[in-house]
Every structure is written in structure tokens, then in C-alpha cells.
Amino acid sequence: MPYSSSMIDLHSHSSRSDGALPPAQLLAHAAAVGLRALALTDHDTTAGLEEAADAARRHRLQFVPGIEFSAAWRSQSVHVLGLWIDPDAPALRAGVATQLDRRHRRIRAICAHLTREGLPGDRLLSMVEARTPLPTRAHLADALVEAGCVRDARDAFRVHLGRGRAAAVAADWPALAEIVGWIVAAGGVASLAHPTRYSLSATARNRLLTDFVAAGGRALEIGCGGNALHHLDACAALALRHGLEATVGSDFHGARMPWNPLGRLAKLPDGLVPAWRSRGIGGDEDG
């Protein structure tokens, strides 16, 4: 797979959501691997942005304030990156507060299911809540491993937490259009994350993109992390068809997902417009 040496990574996670590194360490790591620009896009929170921006200044790295929102499109959960957001914009702040609330309710519901499965749901819930103010299924997977309920995090998803499993809880994320609205109100660029990771037919995927554009979506993430080359072409075709700009990112989480190292980025296929061009970053996305 052709990798870009542009060193602009617009999708990463810190320990403020389910990443391994605290924001300042994430930026130090970004500098060490030679990145020029990094976006911190934690799941449904902006809590790490200030610390990350400070560290970016110390490391002379261009920093893009971001977020990765969980949204609903029809019955599908989708992820929308908000890039160049103002975290203090009232609509965004209100949105983030409701997401946090949803996440706490959801993790409690999942743990109740685990209890019904005969697992120590209450203890698992306490473990998660002691560890993070922003509970994700990734934290719960870690707790299941630590409590000796499963061998590893992958097993936790495969056996308990994944789609269709006994403890799977249909998320009640806000509609895609509403989430895009928060991002736009915060002056950000909405980019649909890893568009080939959703289990949708080609027709449904195109409808999703049509709705995304109608809601104010501006960009599409092209080749995320471990995505194979054919995904790159599929993403590029979708972006061109729907008139979307391109973003690239690794979806770095740290050791949890060693297949997504920081700065491993797809080389943009010809004809795509990088969303960062007009934002004063780079100038030569391939060089």
C-alpha cells in the first residue's frame, strides 16, 4: 500500500477517550515519528484538546483541534470527525454533554446485560467508571480481561460486546444530521470517518453520503489505519462522486490497536482535494 510522507495525521485518540497515551505524550510521540500536523479526535469529548495544543506548541507541531462523534444513520452507528472545531462553541459543548450522558447510560445498560449473562456486571461497571470519565466499550473490554472473564479485548467484543452479542445494546446516538450541525456550528469541517468500515450495501453507502452532504458534511476520510488498498480506491470514488474533500488519519489508539501506528497514512489518490489545503497546513500532501 502506498503510504504518504506528508506527515499529516487527522485522526488519533488519547487517554481522554480510549487511547493509551495522555494528550501531551501523544504529541511527543507525534513529534518523534516526524509528523508535521496532528488532529486529536477523541470519541465524543474535547477534554484533551487544551493539553494537546500546549504540547503541540512545545514540539512545534501544527495542531488541529478535533473530535470523533458517534452518530446514528438509520439503524447504523457511524463516526463523524469534527476537525478545526472551536471546543467552546455552545452548540458543540451542549452536544458533547449529551453524548457523555448517553455513554454513561449505555455502559450501565451493557453491564446489566453482562450481569444477566452471569458475569460480575456491577464490578465491571465500577472498574470502568474508576478508570475513565468517558466510558467506551473498549474500557469495558479491558475490564472484562482484567476480571478474567475473557482472554483478550478481541474476545470481549467477539463473545459479549460486539454487534448481535448478548450484551450488545443498540446505541441511541443522535442522528447524523444533528451531529454534523454541531460541528458546523463550531466552525469545523465534518469528515465521515472510515466509510468502508460500516456494514452497508453500496446503495446504502451512497445514500449515507448523500444525507451527509445535505447535512453540511464536507469531507471523507480516505484510507484509515489498516485499510487495504482497495478501500482507498473505494473511498476516493465515493469522495469524487459526492464532491467531498479528503482527510487522512491513522486512528491511532496505542498498544490497543498496534495495526494502526501513528502517522501511517494513505497517499491520497489523484484528483482528491485535501481538506487541510485551505487550512494552512502542508501544501504538498505527498511530498
Chain residues that interact with ligand AMP, rule: CB under 6 A? 18, 43, 70, 136-138, 141, 153-154, 157, 253
Q: Which stretch binds Mn ion (CB under 5 A): 62-70, 160-168, 234-242, 260-268?
A: 62-70
Bridge partners for 103 per DSSP: none
70 binds, among ligand AMP, Mn ion, none (CB under 5 to 8 A by kind): ligand AMP
Query: Closest approach of Cβ 286 to ligand AMP, in Å?
Result: 29
Rounded Cα–Cα distance for residues 223 and 21 (Å): 23
Residue from 18, 44, 221, 245 in contact with Mn ion (CB under 5 A) = 18
Residue 79 touching Mn ion (CB under 5 A): yes
Residue with smaller CB distance to Mn ion, 4 or 15: 15
Residue with smaller CB distance to Mn ion, 242 or 256: 256
Rounded Cα–Cα distance for residues 284 and 287 (Å): 5
Rounded Cα–Cα distance for residues 272 and 278 (Å): 13
Q: Which stretch binds Mn ion (CB under 5 A): 73-81, 87-95, 121-129, 176-184?
A: 73-81
Contact 71, 77 (CB under 8 A): yes
Q: Which stretch binds Mn ion (CB under 5 A): 88-96, 178-186, 247-255, 267-275?
A: 247-255
Contact 65, 46 (CB under 8 A): yes
On the 0-12 / 13-18 / 19+ scale of CB atoms within 10 A, 32 is exposed
Near Mn ion in 171-210, by CB under 5 A: 193
157 binds, among Mn ion, ligand AMP, none (CB under 5 to 8 A by kind): ligand AMP
Residue with smaller CB distance to Mn ion, 79 or 160: 79
Residue 251 touching Mn ion (CB under 5 A): yes
Q: Which stretch binds Mn ion (CB under 5 A): 30-38, 200-208, 251-259, 277-285?
A: 251-259
In DSSP notation, 48-81 reads THHHHHHHHHHTT-EEEEEEEEEEEETTEEEEEE
Residue with smaller CB distance to ligand AMP, 15 or 136: 136
153 binds, among ligand AMP, Mn ion, none (CB under 5 to 8 A by kind): ligand AMP
Q: How many residues bind Mn ion (CB under 5 A)?
A: 5
Grid coordinates 462553541 are at which residue?
89
Rounded Cα–Cα distance for residues 197 and 207 (Å): 15
Rounded Cα–Cα distance for residues 158 and 31 (Å): 35
Helix axes 137-146, 90-116, angle to 10 degrees: 30
Contact 87, 65 (CB under 8 A): yes
Rounded Cα–Cα distance for residues 274 and 284 (Å): 10
Query: Closest approach of Cβ 94 to Mn ion, in Å?
Result: 22
Residue with smaller CB distance to ligand AMP, 157 or 276: 157
Binding region for Mn ion (CB under 5 A): 18, 68, 79, 193, 251
